[in-house]
A and B are shown apart, each in its own frame.
Chain A
Amino acid sequence: MMETVILYRKKNLERFFGKGSTVKIQDFFVSFKKNDTLFVDVEEGKEKKVKEYIFKELKNSILIIVGNDNLFPFHRIKSPIDDGDDIILTDNFFICTDRDLLFPEVEITRIPNSMDDDLKSFIKKLENIFSTEKININEKNGITAQIWEKASFDVFDDISGQGDMLISPPFDINQKYDFENFSGSFYFNLHGNDKLPGWYGQRSKNSNYREEYPLAILPKSFKKGIKNSFCFSEACFGGYVLNKKEKDSIVLTALKRSFIFCVASTATAYGPLFPPSSEADLLARLFFENIKKGKRASLSVINAKKKFIEYNLKKNGFLDDDDKKTIIEFTLYGNPLVEVSYG
């Protein structure tokens, strides 16, 4: 059995959740994983030493970061592409030895708190997320912006399961959409923004739809009816959870209520309008291929990133700045141990 290594910062946990909260969170992980859990208090300024220790002694473990940026800060790295983002948040620091933090060598995930979580609600979130390590699903669901629907269907058609992908527009938040009893995978290829809670479609060049960017979904869309599900979202800032309350983030709401893991981006993400898949579309495709093979969530993410690098280097001979950004910004949140079977 793989050892799980819980990375936390006691000082921040106790300040945010109160005295004694660290022990309660540790108790949860001990009861969940029995004897295969190691706890590492990563004090401020000791990150490099902890990383050295991970690569020396714990390379075959699964790292679980406890908390949002306020409890365990993301690593900050300059955006490889001049798109106005300036700095990107990433967890690649602890799992890559190369200078640019591109090649992942250790599995990792993060369990982010919402800014309105207290200790009780955070532990409840942990209980939901870690309630199972194996799920069996038959369904899939997706929503794409109209402008790149062909590129999205090229990815969606290869995802296992039965289901449809909605196109936005015409689909928007005003249309009733019922996730009642849904159990399966979600693929979102929509717009996102660091300041807005929802994800948005975009009309194609020839569309008559009145709005260019119709609101497609909001955090409240994921409050009920979904169980044992997971998602890959390509939305810009879909995984940007910094200083967010639950109502301000789809990922935070979904992890609290119904999803057991999500892969999403902390910054501006990229993809093509048409096939073949590249950037986030390619990473999503490779991720779902690994999930289909029964690989656990965290292994699926690092396998997808490695294959993404190999594919681009063999095909193009280079990784350009948006390829690099894709590898740095896509982040796993939730249970890393989940294996998915179909049928």
Chain B
Amino acid sequence: MDKKVLKDSVEKYVKENFSEFYGIDPTLKEIKTDSRIFEKKLKIKIQPLEKKIFSFVYVKDINGFKKVLKITVDGEGKILKIVHNR
């Protein structure tokens, strides 16, 4: 999926489910993990990732409290994980 289309798809999800973050420009990053070191240390085999993974981070400030929403998606726009700051 084109990055612009991916971004629009996540924006739509945020608008519908986390409206307070809608309109905030998120940071977008491709996630890369060099798992070779962990395979060696943990003595496990890790299936290589066949798809690209991206994270969208939304940050806002409410009365001195930072509020962070982070959404991890694959390259097709499938949501893999949603987390919030503590």
A interface with B by C-beta (< 8 Å): 81-84, 98, 103, 105, 145, 148, 189-193, 195-196, 200, 212-213, 234-236, 265, 268-273, 278-280, 306, 309-310, 313-314, 316-322
Number of CB contacts from chain A to chain B under 8 A:
111
Whether A306 pairs with B42 at a CB distance below 8 angstroms is yes
Is B86 touching A236 in the complex (CB atoms < 8 A)? yes
Question: Which residues does chain A contribute within 8 Å of B53, judged by CB atoms?
Answer: 318, 320
**Any chain A CB within 8 A of the CB of B37?**
yes
- Residues on B lying within 8 angstroms of A by beta carbon are 27, 29, 31-33, 35, 37-38, 41-42, 44, 46-49, 53, 55, 57, 59, 62-66, 68, 70, 72, 80-86
- Complexed CA–CA distance, A235 and B65 (Å): 12
Q: Is the CB of A320 within 8 A of B49?
A: no
Pairwise interchain contact B86-A81, C-beta atoms closer than 8 A: no
Distance A268 CA – B85 CA, assembled complex (angstroms): 6
The 9 closest A-B pairs by CB, nearest first: A82-B27, A318-B33, A269-B86, A270-B83, A317-B49, A234-B86, A320-B31, A319-B33, A313-B46
**Contact at A83–B62, with CB atoms within 8 Å?**
no
A212 nearest CB neighbor, chain B only: B62
Whether the pair A148, B29 counts as a contact (CB closer than 8 A) is: no
User: Contacts A317-B49, A318-B33; is A83 near B81 (CB within 8 Å)?
Assistant: no
Contacts A317-B47, A319-B33, A322-B70 given; does A270 touch B42 at CB 8 Å: no
Q: Which residues of A contact B70 (CB under 8 A)?
A: 81, 83, 270, 321-322
Residue from the list B31, B62, B68 in contact with A268, Cβ < 8 A: B68
B64: A residues at CB distance < 8 A: 193, 195-196
A295 to B66, CA, bound (A): 35
Q: How far is the CA of A304 from the CA of B57 in the complex (A)?
A: 26
Q: How far is the CB of B37 from chain A (nearest CB, A)?
A: 5
Identify B86's interface contact among A84, A103, A189, A196, CB under 8 A.
A189
**Would A236 and B84 count as touching, CB distance under 8 A?**
no
